[in-house]
Structure 1
């Protein structure tokens, strides 16, 4: 599981919760002056996930008015950019004279080394807390011209289309399911998140040429891989359809994957075979014919699927299923013998 630190004010009585939150904010790398209409009972939570290159913070609170003042900056300036994805609630943000609405599904961007204001509160029926995912990016880690970043301060960027949607999905997945990753994955996930954030910011600067070539390549590879995962069951999925979907040439697509030590076709095939192997070993899917499972993951031809599966795993699909069934029976038999021995 990814390492995570959590602060939850509900472990304290209502009257002490806001004080706990103020203490948390005072100890963060970029402290804020905070006020809330719910200070009498501030039920809030913050989850911190360190991914090496970047840090993610998922916030939940009833309402918040926060200000990063010049005095606080003089006291502590970690030189961080803040890219905030609002997942629920509304509000406003401002920096350097630019003021924007905060809307669910959109990003806002700040420089923590400069004064800024944020107002965020819940507004949806049945919801008592506003939520957001904050990405903290060191100035030195963002490979974009610092002097040009001011054009984005206090502004909004879409989190529902293109690279914005891909980055939003990445942040929601990682913060929502840390148990699906290993601690050793943190560094690689941080690199992926930084590449996506860099490319998103570069696009919104209308200066994609400012984004380093390798960052653009990795971000596009991530985008292509996410597309393949979403369409894996489509029998028409092939390098040409992937290239067309991303408005690039087939040659460009192949060049993208050269650094990944595979080809697009092999990446698609290997993912499909892995999904088939998983389903064949699943006791809950035992009654489903092999070809139904193969078709679910894009293999329309039975003979082609069998050849590809045998080449990858050294056995037929049916042998894989039978082997999994035998293993499951052996495990069950062993468990029964152990339980019997304990009973005796």
Structure 2
């Protein structure tokens, strides 16, 4: 029996209004690092949080009203978990500051802070409404990041683009986990954590222009992520093959196969293309918005030219024909 990835959830709505704000401050201290929080909504602080433990990293999503946060030198002297926190606002805006620098909090970019140094932030909804803000965070220990602290210091309170390049790949990966944790098993957590760490390392190194200082396996992980993202963007192209993927990344076919062999999963480029295409067909065949499309049209949309080949591949993967799958979806 497969056990889906565990998600820990809390909601201040479970508590009396007078207890909610203090509870939230304690939660922030437990989950990341102690901080002084102030809010115009302290008398009735409605907020919630979800956390996913991936071993070496911990993901969290936080929904909360406008607030200000400060981690003081006194708090650091009292207790410091020696963590980096990478944050991506999903809604709202604000500012973060550390090391005499400040950067905007905005859904288009990550910001990085270090719990060992004083820092603060201000969060507000946009536009100015009562709607809660939402932020995705990643916590990782100092020693887990394969970059010298003196290098990382240059990125504190900086904005790292999350809408393109390595940052875009990282953002998509993290959002996929926190949005659909049910797609993963508990046993997947360590591997997901390692992938997240490799993508974070690659994103920060790219921002610092020091990618060559990363261990070879981390560089390979970043390249694999770029290749996989390319494949997903071009699944509808029936001419997508390992050869075209290799050419697009200026590498030999042998190097591409070696790159995927290095994962130890046994998944080849060809297998990834086939699996992703079939998964797209699986979803679309039971999507009410695509009921008007014939099965062969759905298959063609995902790069399958040959109807018979598609039917055989689908049955082999899912144990039933595309038509049977669609009928089951219609019956609910």
> Could you list the per-position Cα deviations for residues 39-58 of structure 1 after superposition, in whole angstroms to 9, with x for gaps in the alignment?
12211111121110100111
The equivalent residue for 1:336 is none
CA distance in 1, matches of 2:133, 2:92: 5
Report how far residue 283 of structure 1 moved: 11
Instruction: Map residues 136-151 of structure 1 onto 2, 5 A cutoff.
Output: 136-151=139-154
Aligned length: 322
Quote the Cα distance in structure 2 between the aligned partners of 1:63 and 1:169.
Answer: 26
Provide, for residues 111-134 of structure 1, a one-character-per-residue CA deviation record: whole Å limited to 9, x for no partner: 111111111111226661111111
User: Which is further off, 181-190 or 218-227?
Assistant: 218-227
1:73 aligns with 2:76: yes
* 3-state DSSP of counterpart to 2:150: helix
Partner of 2:222: 219
Choose the corresponding residue for 1:96, options 86, 99, 118: 99
Q: Note if contact 1:65-1:120 (Cα within 8 Å) is conserved in structure 2.
A: yes
Contact 1:280 1:290 in 2 (8 A): no
TM-score of the superposition, structure 1-length normalised?
0.82
The RMSD of aligned alpha carbons is 3.2
Q: Which residue in 2 is equivalent to 1:321?
A: 321
Question: Could you tell me which residue of structure 2 aligns to residue 264 of structure 1?
Answer: 269
Instruction: Quote the Cα distance in structure 2 between the aligned partners of 1:279 and 1:177.
Output: 14
| Unpaired stretches in structure 2, ≥5 consecutive residues | none
Superposition TM-score, scaled by structure 2 size: 0.84
Rounded Cα–Cα distance in structure 1 between residues aligned with 2:304 and 2:96: 50
Aligned to 2:240: 237
Q: Distance in 2 between matches of 1:205 and 1:324?
A: 52
Counterpart pick for 1:49 among 45, 49, 52:
52
**2:118 counterpart (115, 120, 130):** 115
Specify the alignment match of 2:205 in structure 1. 202
Query: Of 169, 175, 179, which aligns to 2:178?
Result: 175
- Structure 2 CA distance for aligned equivalents of residues 181 and 15 of structure 1: 37
Cα deviation, residue 94, structure 1: 1.0
Asked whether the 8 Å contact 1:61–1:130 carries over to 2, the reply is yes
